[in-house]
Homo-oligomer: A and B are copies of this chain.
């Protein structure tokens, strides 16, 4: 059963719901056909709802990084000053993209595992009025932190005209995002997270303020030129060939989110986070982040007395349970559990029960079942 059976608990790709998988099996259609136009038109309102914007959300065939790069190259030019808030490896990535294009990057770094403090960013911006954009990560997947992007937008607006650009990968669709109300200018996500699809699509929503900048920005770009996507989207079309099977799946995954109700989806993710954290607290194994900073989609565990990578190998070999490791300087120091997308409290209980056995296997004597019980009790209490 080893090669066939997998419990995929990394922070994306997540398992794919059967009806989404089925939808993706539909035969190919002409991408300039009225059927494709009708599909793109049907998808629009749900995506707007998830991003919390009245603007249309652009869909680009590419990974999440392509979306982040689009946010950069469409708004900023070489030499421009930008502030990148780095709370982990995906903040790092935003910085590296900006540096690749020779922007003047101010990095504001936080210890990995901590959320950023909006008031500190505010003070920094006051001292650096020429910063044209602030890049922030909503869910920092490498550490399991959910950063306060809403509060960030609010305080940045008080002191600066900078665009607020948010990496919403691993967050949007699993936790609230109200772009328009919060005053966020660009927000990006990928298909393989809360949207429960295979990787291959990135989604980009842009405020009116950001569009004004984009129109005036002369930075070279072609495939990622958002102006092309916008113009085409008005007519329910795409500038380049769209990834059709992923769009078939997207329509169905949006249906599923609607059927469950976004509030319920958000609550489910909160519940899975709390259950996971309760379990590790009960087992006496340290979490990387504190309760306030914790993301509803991914939890990082920092064991004191066993090697997380050895542990991950054990549960992978024995249970087909796929967990994520640490990145950069956290490599070999943490492991991460994804609990997002097509994932339920039932799956969290299973994950914990397998993890408990894995911890025994690695030689640490823990009270078997205590993590599961803590998660069950939390579920009953808050459910």
Residues of A near any B CB (own CB < 8 A): 1-5, 7, 17-19, 25, 256, 259-260, 268, 319-321, 342, 344, 346-347, 349-350, 353-354, 356-357, 360-361, 368-370, 372-373, 376-377, 379-380
B residues within 8 A CB of A376? 353, 356-357, 368-369
Question: In the complex, A2 Cα to B19 Cα: how many Å?
Answer: 13
Question: Quick one: which of B25, B360, B369, B379 contacts A372, CB cutoff 8 A?
Answer: B369
A379 smallest CB distance to B (angstroms): 7
Q: Are A268 and B372 in contact (CB under 8 A)?
A: no
B residues within 8 A CB of A4? 17-19, 256, 342
Per DSSP, chain A at the interface is helix
Copies of this chain present in the complex amount to: 2
Question: In the complex, A19 Cα to B350 Cα: how many Å?
Answer: 23
Question: Quick one: which of B1, B259, B319, B357 contacts A268, CB cutoff 8 A?
Answer: B1
Q: Are B344 and A5 in contact (CB under 8 A)?
A: yes
A270 smallest CB distance to B (angstroms): 14
Question: In the complex, A218 Cα to B347 Cα: how many Å?
Answer: 56
With both beta carbons as reference points, the residue of chain B lying nearest to A349 in the complex is identified as: B353
Q: A353-B350, A379-B357 are in contact. Are A260 and B370 (CB under 8 A)?
A: no
Question: In the complex, A321 Cα to B349 Cα: how many Å?
Answer: 13
